Structure formats: C-alpha cells, structure tokens
C-alpha cells in the first residue's frame, strides 16, 4: 500500500501516540497563514506568521488537541477608519476522533491530524466584529469627517452651533459635582 504523503503547515504526525491512551506530545508550530482569514473589517493576512503551542493527548476516542494560537490581525477601526493591527491569542481544544468512533467535526487521518481548519475557525471566530483603534475612539467628526481622536485636547475653535452650545452648558452643569449655590 502506498501511503499518501501528506503535507501542510498545520499537519502533525500522531503515529507514535495513536491508540495509546495516556500518551501526550507537545509541539510548537510556526507557519505563515496560508490564506487570508476573516472577511470583516479586520483579518489575518495571507503570509502572517501564526505560532501554535499545541498539546496532543491520546484518549480512547482519538486525539485530544488543545493549545494556543498567537498571531496578528490587521484592518481598520470601525469608528474612525484608520489602519490598525493587534496581536491575537486564541485558545482551543478539540477532539480528533478515530474514523468511525464518534461523530465529531474533526477526524484523525491515517497517521496525522491536520489543524488548519480548526485553527482558521478559532481565529476567525475571535476576530472583533467592531474593531477599534483604542477603547474610547471618538470616531469621525460628523460635520468635517475628520478623525476626532487627533483633535483630542485641543481647544475648540470657531463658533459652536448654538444648539450644541446649549447642550454643552446642560452637560457641564450636570457633570459638575461641586455644590452649586442655590438660586
């Protein structure tokens, strides 16, 4: 029988622990993402380094795979639209069952497990749906379309729209915790 030679960035041989419950192996994989992961405002770019610390435990039903993925996503802030890039760490655990043993999403194939689908799904699910450049990103000025974060701290110039000025007075008097003289 000619065994098909399987390669892939996230393929791990398990021949030495298959059907030996209790055996355990640890691996560190480092490989570029084989394609772009994620379709939202941010994604892991094709070629982005992906590091996976993975533990393989031989159990009765198959191989229990657990570990942590460490990579980086990039894209744009959902509020002010500037480019952002953030580190991403994702933990995962899945059972790769022996064929015919159990209904699972993942199966042991011949003498290896291929983590690519598992890793891609774990990464995509953990990408922020509404990414921000900073937790309190103020977004864009609704009038000028300029990024408000860059103007933070600079005094407002020019006359305010009277409606906003009135609102500002209202807000200020209510945010002021100091006792006010009774009128």
Query: Contact 38/124 with Cβ under 8 angstroms?
Result: yes
| 112 sits near Zn ion (criterion: CB under 5 A) | no
Which stretch, 13-21, 86-94, 135-143, 153-161, contacts Zn ion (CB under 5 A)?
135-143
| 133 sits near Zn ion (criterion: CB under 5 A) | yes
Least Å distance, CB 135 to Zn ion, is 10
Task: Single out the residue of 79, 92, 94, 123 in contact with Zn ion (rule: CB under 5 A).
Answer: 79
Task: Single out the residue of 90, 123, 127, 137 in contact with Zn ion (rule: CB under 5 A).
Answer: 137
Nearer of residues 62 and 75 to Zn ion, judged by Cβ: 75
Nearer of residues 124 and 149 to Zn ion, judged by Cβ: 149
From CA 71, how far away is CA 69, in angstroms rounded?
Answer: 7
| 42 sits near Zn ion (criterion: CB under 5 A) | no
Contacts for 83-90: CB closer than 8 Å, 24+ residues apart: 84/42, 84/131, 84/132, 84/133, 86/42, 86/131, 88/44, 88/123, 88/126, 88/127, 90/122, 90/123, 90/126
Task: Single out the residue of 69, 80, 88, 97 in contact with Zn ion (rule: CB under 5 A).
Answer: 80
The contact set with Zn ion (CB under 5 A) reads: 77, 79-80, 133, 137
């Amino acid at each position: 029988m000619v065994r098909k030679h399987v390669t892939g960035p996230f393929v791990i041989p398990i021949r030495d622990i298959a059907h030996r419950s209790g055996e355990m192996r640890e691996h560190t994989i480092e490989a570029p993402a084989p394609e772009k992961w994620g379709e939202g405002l941010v994604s892991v770019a094709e070629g982005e380094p992906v590091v996976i610390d993975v533990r393989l435990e031989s159990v009765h039903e198959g191989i229990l795979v657990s570990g942590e993925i460490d990579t980086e996503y990039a894209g744009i802030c959902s509020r002010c639209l500037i480019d952002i890039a953030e580190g991403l760490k994702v933990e995962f655990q899945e059972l790769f069952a022996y064929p015919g043993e159990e209904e699972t999403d993942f199966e042991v194939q011949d003498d290896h497990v291929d983590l690519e689908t598992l890793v891609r799904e774990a990464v995509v699910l953990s990408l922020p749906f509404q990414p921000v450049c900073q937790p309190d990103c103020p977004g864009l000025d609704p009038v000028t379309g300029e990024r408000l974060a860059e103007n933070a701290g600079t005094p407002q110039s020019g006359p305010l729209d009277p409606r906003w000025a009135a609102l500002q007075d209202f807000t200020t008097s209510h945010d002021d915790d100091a006792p006010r003289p009774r009128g």
